[in-house]
Structure formats: structure tokens, C-alpha cells
Amino acid sequence: MVREQLLKLAEENLDIDTTDLDFEEKITNMDIDSIDLVDFIMVVEEEFDIEFTDEELDEIETLSDIVSLIESKN
């Protein structure tokens, strides 16, 4: 369920093709710039009613990392 919600948010907020999205691919390889990533993280935090710490944000490398963080907070 979290993956599906995150995929929907990515489709709505990031300029990427999510058809064959690999949750294990590094975000830096997805042509997402840092400003878009920050905006996306803010949308994720609002959607899931959570807040990531700076340390957690520093550890995010993949969408799968975001899923794991969301699941750990719910």
C-alpha cells in the first residue's frame, strides 16, 4: 500500500516515467534535481502525516528507502 501511494505521488509530483519505475534505483540516477526531491519529500511527509529527521533524509538514496522510513513511522 505504501509503495502504491508513493508511486501515485511520484506520478503527480515528479517529472519521471513511473511505468517501469525501479524502487531500488538511486534517486540521483532518475534525473530528479535536489529542489524537486525536497518538494517531493514535503509532499510525502504531508500525505503520510510524518516528519523525517535530517539524519533520515541524508540516508535516502532510493524510493525503497523512503518506503522503509514511512513504514517505520506508521
What domains sit in the chain, N to C, each tagged with a CATH number?
A: 2-73 (1.10.1200.10)
pLDDT confidence of 31, banded at 50, 70, 90?
Answer: confident
Whether the predicted pLDDT of 33 surpasses 90: no
**Residues 44-59: tens digit of each pLDDT:** 999 999 999 999 999 9
Helix (H, G, I), strand (E, B) or coil at 25: coil
Phi-psi region of 4 (alpha: psi -120 to 50; beta: other; left: phi over 0): alpha
Q: What is the reported pLDDT for 74? A: 80
CA distance 37 to 28: 10
In sequence order, what are the residues at sequence separation of 6 or more whose Cβ sits closer than 8 angstroms to the Cβ of residue 68?
none
Quickly state the pLDDT bin for 20 (edges 50, 70, 90). confident
